[in-house]
Amino acid sequence: MADLFRSVINIISVFAIPLMIAVFLGWGFIKKVHVYEVFVEGAKDGFQTAIRIIPYLVAMLFAIGIFRASGAMDLLAMIISPVTNLIGMPADTLPMALMRPLSGSGSLGIMTELMKTHGPDSFIGVLASTMYGSSETTFYVLAVYFGSVNIKNSRHAVPVGLLADLAGMLGAVFICRILFGI
């Protein structure tokens, strides 16, 4: 069942982009849109948008980068671990949960390390990879998306993003404990 689901999704993923190109341009051509001119017109914005996000991305990534380099994550994990022990979340996976919203490459590194130490099919290995799949890198998305339209006042976006991450991590612990619990 899971295998069937996986192969169906994989096939859709492979066909999605060629299909979109064909349908978008084909439909446009039939509707007598000047496809080439309109494409170029739209593509012009690509450069501007990408350049616009640079200052936001530098501000965000540099702060996260030095935070990672300082080793403060271990300290933070140590402070929070009594709370997470109560809900049955292994202390080893706590840095993973804390890193996930901050840095994609950082959490990828932690996940790989955990699998090397504990094995990919151990409870910790399964939980860490579930956590990795349970959320996006909130602060990266925030910097890129808001940066692209020069938004400086993010209002409730940060608390919303962090609540979502918290729910994702707790959800991962909950479902892994039920299905693969020790």
Partner 1 sequence: MLNYIWIFLIAVALLVGAGKDLNDEVRNTYQNGVPLEVTFLSPQIPAGSVLRREGQFYLTANQFNDFYKTTSQHEEVKQPAVISLSADGSGTFIFSSADATPELWKRMSTSASARDQLTGTVEKIEFSDDKSWAKAVILLEPIRFVKLKAITQAAIDFANTAVEIAIGLIGVMALWLGLMKVAEEAGLVKVLTRMLTPLTKRLFPDVPSDHPAIGAIIMNTAANMLGLSNAATPMGLKAMEELNKLSPKTGTATNAMVTFLAINTGGLILIPATAIAVRAAAGSANPGIIIGTAIFGAGCATLTGIIASKILQRLPRYKKEMPEEEKVAKEERHG
Site for partner 1 in 2-31 (CB under 8 A): 2-3, 5-6, 9-10, 12-13, 16-17, 20-21, 23-25, 27-28, 30-31
The binding track of 105-124 with respect to partner 1, each residue x by CB under 8 A or -, is ---x--xx--xx--xxx---
Determine the Cα–Cα distance for residues 125 and 116; give it in Å rounded to an integer: 9
Q: Which is nearer to partner 1, 80 or 170 (CB)?
A: 170
Residue 103 CB neighbour total at 10 angstroms = 21
Q: Does 99 bind partner 1 (CB under 8 A)?
A: no
Query: Long-range CB contacts (< 8 A, 24+ apart) of 157-163?
Result: 161/101, 162/101, 162/138
Question: In whole angstroms, what is the distance from residue 85 CA to residue 173 CA?
Answer: 11
Question: Can residue 97 be called a binding residue for partner 1 (CB under 8 A)?
Answer: no
Pick 84 or 134: Cβ nearer partner 1: 134
| 36-75 residues near partner 1, rule: CB under 8 A | 38-47, 49-51, 53-54, 57-72, 75
Contact letters for partner 1, residues 150-179 (x by CB under 8 A): xxxxxxxxxxxx-xxxxxxxxxx--xx--x
> Please, which contacts does 94-97 make with residues 24 or more away whose CB atoms are closer than 8 Å?
96/128, 96/131, 96/132, 97/131, 97/169
Selected from 77, 89, 99, 132, the binder of partner 1 by CB under 8 A is 132
Rounded CA-CA distance 123/114 in Å is 11
Residue 79 as a binder of partner 1 (CB under 8 A): the answer is no
Phi, psi (degrees; rounded to nearest 5) at 155 = 50, -125
By CB under 8 A, residue 101 contacts partner 1: yes
